[in-house]
């Protein structure tokens, strides 16, 4: 007996049904995504590359250190020197939009999963499926839905980069000390207040680690997005593979690495407390804390000396 489950055929029928019945919604998604990516790309390219490099260096100095700022200038200058500025900005725009969309979906899902065991039991196998499915497979329905271009590449990137954001957000919320949450309940705080005032601030380092992983996975999809027709460094890598152009492939791959290092260091620094950084913001935070401690010490000294002065005045008064 030759029995075979036609799962692929069923999925294909579902994709055809979505394509036929939800075409207006797919067109709206395609328009919004293309507008966001193309708009951001145009904005980055409309500014002189020197201004963009200096702005990136300033961000690196603010959130991390002056060493990273210098490294950013050198890295982006190397991209300009290799003649890759335009495709690099196209890739950066694609990654930033994909990362923002993935984070906007992942963080609420992670919070919901942390607060509901039923949601967690449903999401876990779905996330396992999304993480283990080969990334190339996502391109097939994406191209069917949105044709060739930047949109299917971004959709596939979002699907592939989403799971770590959900998992680490859930892990961060669930890892908050239970006694701290109980103390909030004891003081009459509502669940929303506990989430905003206790759980999210304490879980922020773990959540930022998840956002960092989302960005790194989005960058790793640059080449696959290039296969779907998205402009940028990934498309150059695909062209280099098809023509066996070693020089072009190495330069495009190096451009992806340089962008990845910058984004990785910046997002990793955002997850650390400001007072622990060697950045400009860290210096300002430490000075602010030092002024607060000095003010508090002065007030404590004044408060302690006031009773002693009152006692001395009473002793000097005639009986």
d(CA 148, CA 97): 18
Instruction: Express as a percent the part of the chain with pLDDT over 90.
Output: 4
Q: What pTM, to 2 d.p., does this model score? A: 0.78
Mean pLDDT of the chain: 81
Largest CA distance in the chain: 117
**Are 33 and 97 spatial neighbours (Cβ–Cβ below 8 Å)?**
yes
The reported pLDDT for the residue numbered 54 is: 92
Q: Is the dihedral of CA 11, 16, 21, 26 positive or negative?
A: positive
Which long-range contacts link 76-83 to residues 24+ away (Cβ below 8 Å)? 76/49, 76/52, 76/258, 76/262, 77/53, 78/254, 78/258, 79/255, 79/258, 79/259, 80/49, 80/53, 82/251, 82/254, 82/255
pLDDT digits (tens, 9 = 90+) for 292-301: 666 656 566 5
At 19-70, the pLDDT tens digits run 788 888 888 888 888 888 889 889 888 988 899 899 989 988 888 888 888 9
Residue 136 confidence (pLDDT):
78
**pLDDT number for residue 73:** 92
Q: How far is CA 17 from the centre of its chain?
A: 33
Matching residue, tokens 């340089």: 258
Average pLDDT on 101-121 reads 89
pLDDT of 2-21, one tens digit each? 677 778 788 888 878 887 88
Q: Which two tokens stand for residue 289?
A: 């804390």
Helix, strand, coil tally for the chain in percent (to 5): 85, 0, 15
Task: Assign 151 a pLDDT band (cuts: 50, 70, 90).
Answer: confident
Residue 74 banded pLDDT, cuts 50, 70, 90 = very high
73: Cα within 13 Å, side-chain hemisphere: 12
pLDDT value of residue 302? 60
Question: What's the pLDDT at 150?
Answer: 83
Structure tokens at 223: 């080449």
Region 264-285: mean pLDDT is 65
Quote the radius of gyration of the chain (alpha carbons, Å): 27
* Alpha carbon separation from 244 to 83, 84, 87, 179, 198 (Å, rounded): 20, 19, 19, 60, 54
Hey, what are 132's tokens? 């283990």
- Cα 15 to Cα 25: distance, rounded to the nearest angstrom: 14
Rounded to whole angstroms, how far apart are CA atoms 192 and 92?
35
Tokens 């293309």 sit on residue = 34
User: Residue 277: pLDDT above 60?
Assistant: no
């Amino acid at each position: 007996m030759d029995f075979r489950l036609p799962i692929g055929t069923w999925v294909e029928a579902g994709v055809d049904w979505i394509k036929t019945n939800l075409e207006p919604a797919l067109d709206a998604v395609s328009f919004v995504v293309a507008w966001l990516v193309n708009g951001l790309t145009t904005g980055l390219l409309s500014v002189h590359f020197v201004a963009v490099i200096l702005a990136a260096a300033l961000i690196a100095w603010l959130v991390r250190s002056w060493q990273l700022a210098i490294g950013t200038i050198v890295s982006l200058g190397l991209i300009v020197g290799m003649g890759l500025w335009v495709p690099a900005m196209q890739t950066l725009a694609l990654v930033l939009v994909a990362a923002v969309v993935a984070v906007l979906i992942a963080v609420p899902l992670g919070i919901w999963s942390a607060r509901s065991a039923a949601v967690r039991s449903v999401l876990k196998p779905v996330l396992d499926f999304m993480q283990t499915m080969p990334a190339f497979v996502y391109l097939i329905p994406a191209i069917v839905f949105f044709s060739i271009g930047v949109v299917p590449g971004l959709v596939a990137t979002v699907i592939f980069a989403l799971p770590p954001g959900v998992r680490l957000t859930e892990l961060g919320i669930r890892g908050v000390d239970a006694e701290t949450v109980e103390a909030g309940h004891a003081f009459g705080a509502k669940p929303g207040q506990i989430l905003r005032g206790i759980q999210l601030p304490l879980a922020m380092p773990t959540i930022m680690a998840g956002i960092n992983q989302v960005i790194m996975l989005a960058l790793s999809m640059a080449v696959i997005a290039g296969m779907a027709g998205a402009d940028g460094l990934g498309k150059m890598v695909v062209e280099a593979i098809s023509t066996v152009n070693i020089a072009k492939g190495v330069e495009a791959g190096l451009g992806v690495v340089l962008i990845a290092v910058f984004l990785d260091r910046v997002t990793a620094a955002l997850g650390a407390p400001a007072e622990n950084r060697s950045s400009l913001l860290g210096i300002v935070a430490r000075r602010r804390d030092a002024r607060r401690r000095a003010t508090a010490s002065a007030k404590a000294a004044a408060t302690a000396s006031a009773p002693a002065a009152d006692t001395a005045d009473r002793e000097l008064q005639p009986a």
